[in-house]
Chains A and B, each alone.
Chain A
Amino acid sequence: MIGLGHYLILAALLFSIGLVGVIRRKNLLMLFFATEIMLNAANVAFAAISSYYHDLSGQMFAFFIIAVAASEVAVGLGLLILLYKKYGTLDLDNFTMLKG
């Protein structure tokens, strides 16, 4: 039997990987992938805790996170399409008009 800690550390690591991606990526689409990883990390954590505590709230939370992730993808893609249509690029280095 694997301890809860293992799952949680895995979740933490996945989150960190997501974070690295978020920090590293300049292409917005790829960046969104990384945010998905972050959300999934949380899902793993919730599912594991839920399972170990025999409590359903965690699974519910994970379920809603998935729903949120789906919605975010929809909106995010909409935005990306808009940006791509207008500017022909998804590199966030190109969007630095607003600053200071």
Chain B
Amino acid sequence: MAEYSAFQVFKNGLTGNTGWKQAWRKPEPKQQYDVVIIGGGGHGLATAYYLAVNHGITNVAICEKGWLGSGNIGRNTTIVRSNYLLNGNTPFYEHSMKLWENLSHELNYNVMFSQRGIINLCHTPAQLDDTARRGNSMRLMGVDARMLTPRDLARRVPGLDLSASARFPVLGGLVQPRAGTARHDAVAWGYARAADRRGVDILENCEVTGFLRDGDKVTGVATSRGEIRARKIAVCVAGSTSHMMKLAGIEKLPIESHVLQAFVSEALKPFLDTVVTFGGGHLYISQSDKGGLVFGGDIDGYNSYAQHGNLPVVEEVMSETVALFPAAAKVRLLRSWGGIMDMSMDGTPIITTGPLTGMYLNCGWCYGGFKATPASGWCFAHTIARDEPHELSAAFTLDRFHRGYVIDEKGQGATPWKH
């Protein structure tokens, strides 16, 4: 299939756009693969892609129960950053950032990664220190970060209420200039197309309904499109993790599923050129290329598998938005939706071999797994191909909870709804 390029767009444009082919094939499932990946979200797709590219494993299928990208990859607020605090996290997310920086070329698909920077606002002196601590931590691990004064902020974020009478007075902020946003769907489609071109079978409308076992070993999956055998089975189903693992007989995991809402306003001419997060509560806001302000806040805070949220969180997020941007009171909310988060007990992901033989698990991404997509795929592919953790994800083990090696960015303890 032709490479995507300006030339192709031009050529096809003149010929009625009839020359374009399917972005990925719609194959029938084979009976046997080397690796079956459950979950056609960002992580599953990236895993397939890196299995092929980094490890030469191409006899791979991805089983997706709905349409490709119907999970969280298709409903997140698209923020990509590596501004973490703790040692266990930063190198992993920074690796991801580096992959993002070349992703469009790598995939030959414009994922519209826009490095417009992310700014964390501070509203109290204590927060300034905390934030500086995070910035310093990043810098010491080779990640870009810089504290901003209110004057810097006035220049970068017009419309932000920097007055002393602001509802939440702003004392400063931390910027990670290389952070930004990417077009969420394009990431799924780009990985899908690139993986497909390397031979990966993407099986949509193929729900995994059970596992085939040989004693303790997992040997395949039962799906809505028939049984499929595989030497290795990788689970990447985000919010459905517990449910999926129950099918394998694992009743309990350090995971809870919670709903997170996101919002988009009506399209506006450029209003906000960076990503802003609020330090006094929980809010992050950016503007999509289409013009909508895209924003989100806290998870609703109770176990949920329903992809819809509640009203108090809507009100909370909107009130924080207008507190920061008083002009936005007249902007209008266009749409709200929800996605199911796989909240882990310490707010940090899990990438591991097992828990059964022949099985590999990738989960616990909470509300931050979009930015992790490339690195997650990279490290998970490594784990699957080599049967050992990648050094960047070595801390993301499943036994860290019991052993007490939790990586708790928020310091909340085993209350997933507070991470």
| B and A form one assembly | no
